[in-house]
Amino acid sequence: MTTADEVIPADYRDLLERPLYGHLATARRDGGVQVEPMWFEFDGEFILFTHTSKRQKYRNLMANPAAALSVNDPDQPYRFLEVRGVLDHVDPDPEGAFYRQLARRYGREDQAPPDAADRVILYIRPTATAQQ
Amino acid sequence: MTTADEVIPADYRDLLERPLYGHLATARRDGGVQVEPMWFEFDGEFILFTHTSKRQKYRNLMANPAAALSVNDPDQPYRFLEVRGVLDHVDPDPEGAFYRQLARRYGREDQAPPDAADRVILYIRPTATAQQ
């Protein structure tokens, strides 16, 4: 299996390591697409997102595991990385621990989310990139 | 027909009027999705993008006209607008005039693109939004 190390260009990896917002696209079951800004973290193998099992994006990914993430460099607006991938697995996060980890990464208040009971961690496996 | 005025919430319209980057998602013919940062302009009815007829996103939209745009507010990172819509029509832009108009909007050098002959204007009709 191709590893994330082989997929993510080394000179664009900083865009996954810095606490930048990523815009995550998924396929809707009505044939459309959707995209929203999201916190994320790259663990070297997967791109992780905090989400809940009650939302549209979760239902989208259960029906079609395709995802794509766009991150641009606020310091050089022409510079961006798109990572395409697939949902590999989902872990429960019932205490909101991963949510809190991301909140700290993004400089936000470290407290459990009100919807902790429904919180999950989405693990997206990168399969391809485009960059400029 | 629902008008863009009815679709775009008035208190989020600034995110379409300011020269912010939008992340445009489209559906790939292989069942996946893709998303990249793009210049855009909202004319009150359509969201316009400069693109070329030789690229993947153009082929995607010819096969499936669904699109979604995510714009977040750099001054308030929690604030964002997602606009979902469909490709309504495409106009040729063989002199790159619309490309130059967007370049001026984004504070870039006002010169024709090297690929002017292939340049087109994508007109996306907004059909729904999500915002926070």
Average pLDDT, chain A: 95
Whole-angstrom Cα distance, residue A42 to residue A12? 13
Q: What's the whole-number mean pLDDT along residues B84-93?
A: 98
Q: What is the pTM of this model?
A: 0.96
ipTM of the complex: 0.95
pLDDT at A109: 84
Q: What's the whole-number mean pLDDT along residues A42-70?
A: 96
Task: Please tell me the total count of domains within chain B.
Answer: 1
Identify all chain B residues contacting A83, using CB atoms and an 8 Å cutoff: none
Q: Specify the CATH number for the domain of residue B105.
A: 2.30.110.10
What residues make up the domain containing B118? Answer: 4-131
Instruction: Estimate to the nearest angstrom the gap between the alpha carbon of B18 and the chain centroid.
Output: 13
3-state helix, strand, coil in chain A (%, to 5): 25, 45, 35
> Closest to A25 (Cβ–Cβ): which among B25, B37, B77?
B25
Q: Closest chain B residue to A87 measured between Cα atoms?
A: B32
In the sheet that holds A22-27, the strands lie side by side as A33-38, A22-27, A66-73, A76-92, A119-131, A47-52, A41-42
- Say whether pLDDT at A3 is over 90: no
Would you call B86 exposed, middle or buried from its count of C-beta atoms within 10 A (0-12, 13-18, 19+)?
Answer: middle
Q: B-side interface with A, Cβ within 8 Å?
A: 21, 23-28, 31-37, 64, 66-70, 72, 74, 77, 80, 82, 84, 106, 130
pLDDT at A119: 96
- Say whether pLDDT at A2 is over 90: no
Q: What's the whole-number mean pLDDT along residues A10-39?
A: 97
Whole-angstrom Cα distance, residue B4 to residue B69? 14
Would you call B35 and A68 a contact, using CB atoms and an 8 Å cutoff?
Answer: yes
Sign of the Cα torsion B34, B40, B42, B48 reads: negative
